[in-house]
Structure 1
Amino acid sequence: MKKNVWKKLLLSSLIVSMSLMTLAGCGSKSSSSSSSSSTAGGTEMKGDIKVWIDTEHIAAIKSQVKKFEKANPKIHVTVKSGSSADAMKDVSKDPSKAADVFMMPHDQIGQMAEAGLLYPVGKKDVATMKKNDIQSAVDGVTYKGKVYGFPYGVESQVLYYNKSKLSAEDVTNWDTMTSKGKLGTNFGDAGANYIFAPLFLSNGDQIYGSNGENLKGTNINNDKGVQVLQWIAKQKQNSGVVQTSDAALSNLQSGKIDAFLSGPWSKSDVKKALGKNMAVAPYPTVNFGNGDTQMKAFLGVKVYGVNQQTKSPVASIALAKYLSNEATQKVEFEKNGVVPTNKTAQALPEVQKDETAKSVLQMSDANHTVVMPKLPEIISFWPPMDSLINDTYKGKIKPAQYQDKLNKFVKDTSKKAN
């Protein structure tokens, strides 16, 4: 997720949280037992439906929509520009007037499902999804045992680096990389939470439990959590770690830094900055004091959700399935660089030979990433995590305060949303 979009998403989450909780009582009681397969039984595929698509995806998706309409002549689809990052906010304004199908990030599923805004996926389609898509993508669209969307892309942070300055071996370990080159980071700025909160997971702790749905499951206020804060504080004195924030790309081009952490959305810009010297790799290992361990990132899943209040559920579900199928994922990769969740699409030669896509796929396993938590209370997690990382890095939080700060963080982020 692009950095500015990520910030926008966090803000949107905070703004709409109260309205979503209000809407929760208004959701259809039948949603928990609805099934696309049972609904479709004996029902003709027809209807006028609307889909919200991120602007940069419209050209690619329109061609697929035309194919869908040709195969389903009694369904008419209107494609409108929308913002996947704002799905919660936009749908909750007036679900009856919102799109029938819309792009969204998986971490909004908890809030939207609790508010009765998402049409659940039927058992037959879930079985197909489990067969065709990678497990982490299925996990991303699953909330409290039910599936609430169709995954079409996966993304995580990766390591971009200048291969004329650093070797493939150098970037496998944080200490080696930062001793031989300079890594651009944002420890001291807004957005550090998204990149560096998974450090706690890297050291064996949990955030909202093993599946990201346990409100009382955050346990970073222990010795391992203290080790992470100690490690973050040390990076301020590490000459190979450079605070770059929004200047990362220009600093990469000028040679001020040799590597930085970002996602597939930065691929084109890094290519412009480094040209033939661009290289991509999974995250390095880090050492918090107990030996090298794999540095982890959050995994994000791109999803098509179906509006619980759609007047054409059969047609809407059929469209969401079509826009997340293998063929459409292939088009999305070719046109927009979206890394597929479909196993067959992932095996395509053009995907496998793409260095960024290959690194994202390596990152998508459980050893490298943790699926972003999606319970509604995640909105209370981001601001204090940013402050915890920023202030530790800047030295505003002293070592003697680490335990107390962690205790407060866990207490404050484990409260039930009102």
Structure 2
Amino acid sequence: MKKHVIAAVAAAAFVTTAMAGCTGADTTAGGESVNGEPSVLQTEAVMDSTELSGDVAEDDGKVTLTVWAEEANFDVLQEMIDSFEQKYAGQADFDIQLAENADAETRNTLLGDVHNGADVFPLPDDQLTSMVAAGALEPVPNADEIREANLDEAVAAASVNDTLYAYPMTADNGYFLYYDKNYLTEEDVQTMDGLLAAAGAVGKKVTMDWSSGWYLYAFFGNTGLDFGVNDDGVTNYCDWNATEGSIKGTDIEEALLAIAQNPAFLSCTDTEFMEGVQDGTVVAGVSGVWNASEIKKVWGNDYGAVKLPTYTCAGQQIQMASFTGYKMMGVNAYSKHKDWALKLADWFTNEENQMLRLEERDQGPSNKNAAASEQVQAVPAIQAVIAQAQYGKLQRVGNSFWDATTEFGNLMATGSTNGTDPQEVMDTLVAGITQSTVQ
């Protein structure tokens, strides 16, 4: 059957009225409704685990399904679609279309027009609670089976109030350090100071995206300063402007400015990082497993991946932290062929297809058997995620975090506060992070 690849339609406007006070954030960001109790549009699970593998009467005949995905994943998903159609041949006339949509934009795009959204889609765990609160996700009908098959952390990340709302897919949605072994040694990559010195000595760059709070959190997470989302699931608490303690807010600011002033450092987007890898100007950068395949093509046997380095702050070496995360497959609660959509999402995330995703895209599986395989042990990027995870925190933040950290990160990347008092800079950051999002 001929497949159609279509472009996902960008939402004209986010559903601010319906979602006021109960949406989370952005970036490769989450939140619950006020008081932590999602206002969920209750939908019935129409099939149990036995029905999931059998015929679905209402779908006899033509079944049209749209699947959102990033273009880099089209090939592997098409393989899965082909095998799905072979398994269920004769039960329905399938027309399954792949549509391009960034995983980081799944929530915003879907909630902008849920009735015309994709039937099946991947999403990062931080988007789950606000999508559940909007009634956009169909609960997983064979939840016990899926819980048993997947890592506990991945199942927890796909659940709200003990209800499983999506099929766990990967357990690698974090970040770590890639490096080119042709220029950097294992000792060099242990510290940011060592990285920058070695890269600078050969006229190369070390990169990280400071315009994103997702990455910038790395400098605050293991300092003893505190940050998180309040019980309302919407607003944040934060003391990153602390003026007392072994590490103060201005100490971190000073450390960031020192890194930015080093000619070997470059704050740039993930896309620009990959462009630097390909043109040879970048020899190390902070990113995630989604770039593993392409980096391996460029660096070959010189491709290395390790936990994040330490950095110098207040005369100490501080281990850089990270947000940890998981990706999953969700099903639109308004799908016209909901039963088949659930079957397809389950198919995309079963053990066999998680292994296929590992082999073709170097993406770390959430399935217990797949995660324990020898193949996982052989992928440097996944091993780096595992090594970094002990210094990570599950991303749960209120929406105001993102704009505030972007403004702060962009300022730090210039290497100067432009004459603004250092404490004032930190106070402004915290005021932005903790501000109410309710108008």
Indicate if the aligned counterparts of 1:36 and 1:317 stay in contact, CA closer than 8 A.
Answer: no
Residue number among 20, 39, 45 corresponding to 2:56 in the alignment: 45
Q: Give the aligned residue type for 2:67.
A: W
User: In the aligned structure 2, how far is the partner of 1:19 from the partner of 1:222?
Assistant: 36
- Give 2:78's aligned residue: 62
Q: Give the aligned residue type for 2:410.
A: N
* RMSD of aligned Cα (Å): 3.7
- Give 2:158's aligned residue: 141
Residue number among 393, 404, 420 corresponding to 1:370 in the alignment: 393
- Give 2:222's aligned residue: 202
SS at match of 1:208: strand
Change (3 A) 1:131 1:169: farther
Residue number among 197, 206, 209 corresponding to 1:184 in the alignment: 206
- Give 1:88's aligned residue: 107
Higher normalized helix content (fraction of residues): 1
Quote how far apart the aligned CAs of 1:385 are: 0.8
Quote how far apart the aligned CAs of 1:243 are: 5.0
- Identity, % of aligned pairs? 20
Residue ranges of structure 2 left out of the alignment (5+ in a row): 1-9, 24-37
SS at match of 2:299: helix
Q: Give the aligned residue type for 2:207.
A: T
Residue number among 341, 358, 381 corresponding to 1:316 in the alignment: 341
- Give 2:289's aligned residue: 264
User: In the aligned structure 1, how far is the partner of 2:430 from the partner of 2:50?
Assistant: 45
Residue number among 252, 256, 265 corresponding to 1:241 in the alignment: 265
User: In the aligned structure 2, how far is the partner of 1:275 from the partner of 1:98?
Assistant: 39
- Give 2:353's aligned residue: 328
Change (3 A) 1:249 1:98: closer
Indicate if the aligned counterparts of 1:39 and 1:314 stay in contact, CA closer than 8 A.
Answer: no
Residue ranges of structure 1 left out of the alignment (5+ in a row): 1-11
Q: Give the aligned residue type for 1:58.
A: F
- Give 2:7's aligned residue: none
TM-score, structure 2 normalization: 0.76
Indicate if the aligned counterparts of 1:283 and 1:368 stay in contact, CA closer than 8 A.
Answer: no
Quote how far apart the aligned CAs of 1:353 are: 0.9
Indicate if the aligned counterparts of 2:137 and 2:165 stay in contact, CA closer than 8 A.
Answer: yes
User: In the aligned structure 1, how far is the partner of 2:281 from the partner of 2:116?
Assistant: 50
TM-score, structure 1 normalization: 0.79
Q: Give the aligned residue type for 1:18.
A: T
Where does 1:2-401 land on structure 2 (aligned, <5 Å)? 16=14, 18=16, 21=19, 31-32=41-42, 34-35=44-45, 45-46=56-57, 47=59, 48=63, 50-54=65-69, 55-72=71-88, 74=91, 77-82=94-99, 83=101, 84-121=103-140, 125=143, 127-143=144-160, 146-153=163-170, 154-182=172-200, 183-186=205-208, 191-209=211-229, 213=233, 215-223=235-243, 224-242=248-266, 248-249=273-274, 251-252=276-277, 256-289=281-314, 291-363=316-388, 365=389, 367-373=390-396, 377-378=398-399, 380-397=400-417, 401=421
User: In the aligned structure 2, how far is the partner of 1:370 from the partner of 1:44?
Assistant: 42
Q: Give the aligned residue type for 1:232.
A: L
SS at match of 1:119: coil
Quote how far apart the aligned CAs of 1:305 are: 0.9
SS at match of 1:304: strand
Size of the alignment, in residue pairs?
396
